[in-house]
Amino acid sequence: MITSDFSPFRLRDPNLTLKERFLNLSWCYIFLIFLVAASGFVVLYAAANGNWEPWASRQFYRFWMGCAVLFVVAMIDLRFWLKYAYIFYIGAVALLFFVEYFGHDAMGAQRWLNLGFIRIQPSELMKIALILALSRYFHGSSLQEMMSMSAIVIPSFMVLIPVALVLKQPDLGTAVLMGAGSLTLFFLVGVQMWKFAALGVAGLISIPIAWRFLHDYQKERVFTFLDPERDPLGKGYHILQSKITLGSGGVFGKGFLQGTQSRLNFLPEKHTDFIFTVLAEEFGLIGSVSLLLLYLALIFYGYVIAFRSTSFFGRLLALGLTTNLFLYVFINIAMVMGLLPVVGVPLPMISYGGTVMLTLMFSFGLIECVNVNRDVQIGRRGAYDD
């Protein structure tokens, strides 16, 4: 049994009052979230050449909406999320199907679902739903089961169905995030290393086959990644300008609102996927390292919360969501620095975008929920069955 000296016995009771839950929130974690979000507003303000409009102000309102989501999600009983994990999963898959046929066309890809008052990206919701569903599934399995071959089949399908749907949209970034996130969960619960090795080998073999199913623009992105300078004004323009922007910042940066690359629009998509370069140009190495350290602090705190939790579901959920955050950060920064192909992954909390902000706040809410319910015991069979 894992017990904490800091947790009163009362907290082991799952039926906490709202006040108890509120007091149990990790304010340190919330503080870190606020810090990242605040730097996001600053960078979006700079990306608009020193204007709150059009990005920073809207991002600001969305953040407060996200805060509301965070608190609501954190206040709900962790067993509720366990109980309805599959329902969310099925709902998210259904939405993905739905956008496939009724979605809005943005940038040549069907990713949006217009609900009239808000446009949502089901693929973002899908990431969280998948982590929830897998956490529930593994929560219910024994170590032996997880190490057996048969037990991997069902969760594998749980992963493959949404990944296939997202790929079809096509949204390579989300597919990579979901695939990598799920693999991490498989890894965490103890699936043997040789199975990952086998998957790796199978993956290498299937690359030529998968290549044929990639869209032309996705192939181009891979080519561009391999040699960005082969077409500096065309396909390689993004990544080349991105590196120029980053590199020209130097150690101390050009100063707030002094970034020539962003101010003179040499940087495409500077408010979304390439927002990191705006920060790096104006605040230099100091700025970019600081932001990375801030993210690492947030991730580290995610681990702390996971290890504080006494329930397997809670731990796995916190670890899965934290890993998801790490993957966002790593893929985005590696992408803008030319270490990975441009796959369209935003920088969490900083890139301009509503759905991503809301789903991130949703996942932070779930992590807080794990923190609130850290001493709550949850039986193997599920939510209320003890």
Residues 146-185, mask of contacts with other proteins (x by CB under 8 A):
x-------------------------------------x-
Q: To the nearest whole angstrom, how small is the minimum distance from the Cβ of residue 145 to other proteins?
A: 10
d(C-alpha 368, C-alpha 321), whole Å:
11
The correct pick among 52, 84, 86, 330 for binding other proteins (CB under 8 A) is 330
Burial code (b: 16+ CB inside 10 Å, e: under 16) for 227-251 equals ebeeeeeebbbbbbbbbbbbebbee
> Of 86, 165, 92, 88, whose CA–CA distance to 126 is shortest?
92
Q: Which stretch binds other proteins (CB under 8 A): 76-84, 85-93, 322-330, 341-349?
A: 322-330
Cβ atoms of 65 and 359 within 8 Å: the answer is no
Cβ atoms of 369 and 74 within 8 Å: the answer is yes
d(C-alpha 115, C-alpha 340), whole Å:
34
Q: To the nearest whole angstrom, how small is the minimum distance from the Cβ of residue 262 to other proteins?
A: 10
Q: What's the CA dihedral at 268, 273, 274, 279 to 10 degrees?
A: 130
Q: Which stretch binds other proteins (CB under 8 A): 17-25, 153-161, 215-223, 296-304?
A: 296-304
The correct pick among 315, 351, 360, 378 for binding other proteins (CB under 8 A) is 315
The correct pick among 243, 256, 294, 297 for binding other proteins (CB under 8 A) is 243
The correct pick among 105, 144, 204, 226 for binding other proteins (CB under 8 A) is 144
> Residue 142 interacts with other proteins (CB under 8 A)?
yes
> Residue 333 interacts with other proteins (CB under 8 A)?
yes
Q: Which stretch binds other proteins (CB under 8 A): 50-58, 75-83, 128-136, 303-311?
A: 303-311
Paired tokens of 104: 């809005």
The correct pick among 153, 289, 381, 385 for binding other proteins (CB under 8 A) is 289
Percent helix, strand and coil across the chain, each rounded to 5? 70, 5, 30
Q: Which of residues 255-284 bind other proteins (CB under 8 A)?
A: 260-261, 264-266, 280, 284
Which CB atom, from 96 or from 347, has the smaller least distance to other proteins? Answer: 347
Q: To the nearest whole angstrom, how small is the minimum distance from the Cβ of residue 258 to other proteins?
A: 12
d(C-alpha 224, C-alpha 227), whole Å:
5
Q: How many residues bind other proteins (CB under 8 A)?
A: 48
How many angstroms separate the first and last alpha carbons of the chain? 16
Cβ atoms of 355 and 120 within 8 Å: the answer is yes
Q: To the nearest whole angstrom, how small is the minimum distance from the Cβ of residue 149 to other proteins?
A: 17
Which CB atom, from 2 or from 68, has the smaller least distance to other proteins? Answer: 2
> Residue 296 interacts with other proteins (CB under 8 A)?
yes
Paired tokens of 25: 């929130």
d(C-alpha 26, C-alpha 29), whole Å:
5
d(C-alpha 214, C-alpha 221), whole Å:
11
Which residues contact other proteins (rule: CB under 8 A)? 2, 142-144, 146, 184, 187-190, 241, 243-251, 260-261, 264-266, 280, 284-285, 288-289, 292, 296, 299, 303, 306-307, 312, 315-316, 319, 323, 326, 330, 333-334, 337, 339, 380
